[in-house]
Amino acid sequence: MTNKLKYFVGNWKMFGSFSSLKNIYRIHRFCVKFNKARKKNKIILCVPNTLIYFFTKKFRSKIISIGAQNCHHHQTKGSFTGSVNAKMLKNVGAKYIILGHSESRHEGDTNQLIKKKIKSALNQQLYVIFCIGETYSEKIRKKTFSVLKNQLKSSMDKKINLNNIIIAYEPVWSIGTGKIPKIDSLRNIFRFIKNEFKKNLKTKTSPPVLYGGSVNDKNITKFTSILEIDGFLIGGASRSSKKFIDIIKNYYK
Ligand code: PEP
């Protein structure tokens, strides 16, 4: 286990209400104590847009930040019914944003569209959690590396602000299914992503790379041997403060 900062990111999806503030307080109370005694952890909760302003006004913390889950690619105002852009999310207090999530790709987000969204979020100084990952059919056709390579290459501008990017490797077949990749293959994938990023953007360092897909308080211990994992993007289990806290606790056991 290294001493490096670890990210635990919750993706609440289309769940949560004003009363979920109590979950955030619980996580915060735990982290204040835990971070003092143990490692440094950064907690990011990506919540529905309707809750961002409420949470960020009620709650200020260096340990927990609030993020959004997607945005429209247009940088300025416009006739886009039902849409919200990165600037609007920034204005209501979001610090982070998930982009390229497989559920958003499923709704029509292409690599080209995601590229525009990343650009517009970075222009607003939001931190981008950029999701990549192969589908089950791509995995069995042994296309994982070429899919990841293409997603990285076609969605990221060479001139982006590297300090504001976090990558999340989320195999689509693992999201919400209870299935996780084999540890050896995951280690290779993490090495590949980090090398590929450095190659594409001609940099010596890679941004943090997180793992996401069916992470829970039981299987989290399986990931501890992969030093290349800089943290986790957690969907279902992040909606319960107890499960979320147990994931962090068990990671360090
Ligand atoms: C996600 O939606 O980003 C995710 C990882 O979901 P789950 O943890 O439920 O698989």
Q: Could you confirm whether 170 is annotated as catalytic?
A: yes
227-239: per-residue pLDDT in tens?
999 999 999 999 9
In a domain, 43, yes or no: yes
Partners of 169 in the β-ladder: 132, 211
Beta carbons of 40 and 63 less than 8 angstroms apart? no
In a domain, 212, yes or no: yes
Number of C-alpha atoms within 13 angstroms, CB side, residue 249?
Answer: 11
- Active-site choice (73, 101, 103, 196): 101
212 lines ligand 1 (CB under 6 A): yes
155-203: per-residue pLDDT in tens?
988 888 888 999 999 999 999 999 999 999 999 999 999 999 999 989 9
In a domain, 180, yes or no: yes
Predicted pLDDT of residue 52: 98
**Tokens matching residue 7:** 């990210």
Work out how many domains the chain is built from and give that number: 1
Predicted pLDDT of residue 161: 83
Number of C-alpha atoms within 13 angstroms, CB side, residue 26?
Answer: 14
Beta carbons of 200 and 152 less than 8 angstroms apart? yes
Question: How far away, in angstroms, is 12 Cα from ligand 1 center?
Answer: 9
Q: Which of 215, 232, 238, 243 to mutate to test the pocket of ligand 1 (most atoms within 8 A of CB)?
A: 215
In a domain, 70, yes or no: yes
Predicted pLDDT of residue 38: 61
Partners of 72 in the β-ladder: 85
Whole-prediction pTM: 0.96
- Ligand 1, atom 6: closest residue by C-alpha: 235
Predicted pLDDT of residue 39: 63
In a domain, 184, yes or no: yes
Predicted pLDDT of residue 34: 84
Q: What is the DSSP string of 199-211?
A: HHHT-SSPPPEEE
- Give the integer Cα–Cα distance in Å for 187 and 180: 13
Average pLDDT of the chain to the nearest whole number: 95
Predicted pLDDT of residue 1: 52
Domain that holds residue 49: 6-251
Beta carbons of 99 and 118 less than 8 angstroms apart? yes
In a domain, 83, yes or no: yes
Q: Which position has the token pair 């999806």?
A: 13
113-159: per-residue pLDDT in tens?
999 999 999 999 999 999 999 999 999 999 999 999 999 999 988 88
- Give the integer Cα–Cα distance in Å for 208 and 205: 9
Question: How far away, in angstroms, is 47 Cα from ligand 1 center?
Answer: 13
22-74: per-residue pLDDT in tens?
999 999 999 988 876 666 889 999 999 999 999 999 988 888 999 999 999 99
Predicted pLDDT of residue 157: 84
**Tokens matching residue 90:** 């920034």
Question: How far away, in angstroms, is 30 Cα from ligand 1 center?
Answer: 22
Q: Crossing angle of helices 21-37/241-251, nearest 10°?
A: 20
CATH number at residue 22: 3.20.20.70
Question: How far away, in angstroms, is 75 Cα from ligand 1 center?
Answer: 28
- Ligand 1, atom 7: closest residue by C-alpha: 235
For 8-32, letters b (16+ CB in 10 Å) and e give bbbbbbeebeeebeebbeebeebbe
175 lines ligand 1 (CB under 6 A): yes
In a domain, 224, yes or no: yes
213 lines ligand 1 (CB under 6 A): yes
Predicted pLDDT of residue 2: 55
67-122: per-residue pLDDT in tens?
999 999 999 999 999 999 999 999 999 999 999 999 999 999 999 999 999 999 99
In a domain, 1, yes or no: no
215 lines ligand 1 (CB under 6 A): yes
Q: Which CA distances in Å does 75 have to 39, 102, 124, 132, 135?
A: 38, 22, 9, 23, 30
Number of C-alpha atoms within 13 angstroms, CB side, residue 60?
Answer: 1
